[in-house]
Amino acid sequence: MNNSQITHWCHEIIKSQAPKGGFYIDATMGKGNDTAFFCELAGETGEVLAFDVQIKAIEATAALLIEKGLVDCATLIMDGHEKMKKYAQPETADVICFNFGYLPGGDHNISTKAQTSIMAIEQGLEILKKGGMMSLCIYSGGDTGFEERDAILEYLKNLPPKQYVVIKNEYFNRGNNPPMPVFVFKN
Ligand SMILES: C[S@@+](CC[C@H](N)C(=O)[O-])C[C@H]1O[C@@H](n2cnc3c(N)ncnc32)[C@H](O)[C@@H]1O
C-alpha cells in the first residue's frame, strides 16, 4: 500500500471516525475504488449510494465490485451529485465522499465543476447525520485549473464553526499542485 496516496489517507481517516454498517455516499464514483471501500465498511447491514454522470464509470465500478465479490452492495446512480437530495433523506448519512476531477483514463471534459460541486456539497451537508463526516479530495492545476478548488475552499471556509469542523490538509513538500484532502465534521 502506498501511504502517500491521497485516497489511502482519506480512507484511513474515514475508518478511524465512521461506524461500520452505516449509510455511505460516494458522490463521485469514477472507477469505483471509494464505492468498494464503502461496501466493505457497510458489510451486510449497511447501505451505499454512488453517483456518476457517465456510463463508463458505472460500468467500471460494477466490474470492480464483481471482481471484489461485493455484488449488490451498492446502488449505482447515473445522475449528477448536485441532485443528491432526490435520493437520500436529510440527516441520514454517516459519510459522504467526494473525489473531484475527471475519470482517470477517461474524457477530461467530463469533469466535476465548481458550481455543481458546491451544490452537491451543500446538499451533502444536509444529508449528513449529526456526528457524520464528509471527505473531499480536491485537485487543481493542469486541465482542472483552480476555479473549482478555490470555490470549494471559499465555501468551506465560511461554514458556521458551531455546526461544522473543517480540517484542510496539504502535502507540504510536494510540487505541481498536489491534491488536497479536506474533512468536514458535522456537530
Ligand atoms: C476523480 S474521478 C472519481 C474517482 C473515484 N472516486 C474512484 O474511486 O475511482 C471523478 C468522477 O466524477 C465524475 N463526475 C463529474 N461530474 C459529476 C457530477 N456532476 N456528479 C457526479 N459525478 C460527476 C466524473 O465522471 C469522474 O468519474
32 Cβ contact list (under 8 Å, min separation 6): 50, 57, 60, 61, 62, 63, 64, 65
**Does 99 sit in the ligand 1 pocket, CB within 6 Å?**
yes
Task: Say what the pLDDT of residue 4 is.
Answer: 76
Helices and strands counted in the chain (H then E): 5, 7
Indicate the top mutation candidate among 52, 54, 111 to test ligand 1's pocket, ranked by most ligand atoms within 8 A of CB: 52
Which pTM was predicted?
0.97
DSSP 8-state symbol, 30: T
CA distance 180 to 49: 24
Indicate the top mutation candidate among 24, 26, 40, 53 to test ligand 1's pocket, ranked by most ligand atoms within 8 A of CB: 53
Task: Say what the pLDDT of residue 2 is.
Answer: 60
**Does 51 sit in the ligand 1 pocket, CB within 6 Å?**
yes
pLDDT by residue for the chain (187 residues), tens only, comes to: 466 788 999 999 999 999 999 999 999 999 999 999 999 999 999 999 999 999 999 999 999 999 999 989 999 999 999 999 999 999 999 999 999 999 999 999 999 999 999 999 999 999 999 999 999 999 999 888 899 999 999 999 999 999 999 999 999 999 999 999 999 999 9
**DSSP H or E run through 16:** helix 6-17
Task: Say what the pLDDT of residue 1 is.
Answer: 47
Task: Say what the pLDDT of residue 144 is.
Answer: 84
**Does 30 sit in the ligand 1 pocket, CB within 6 Å?**
yes
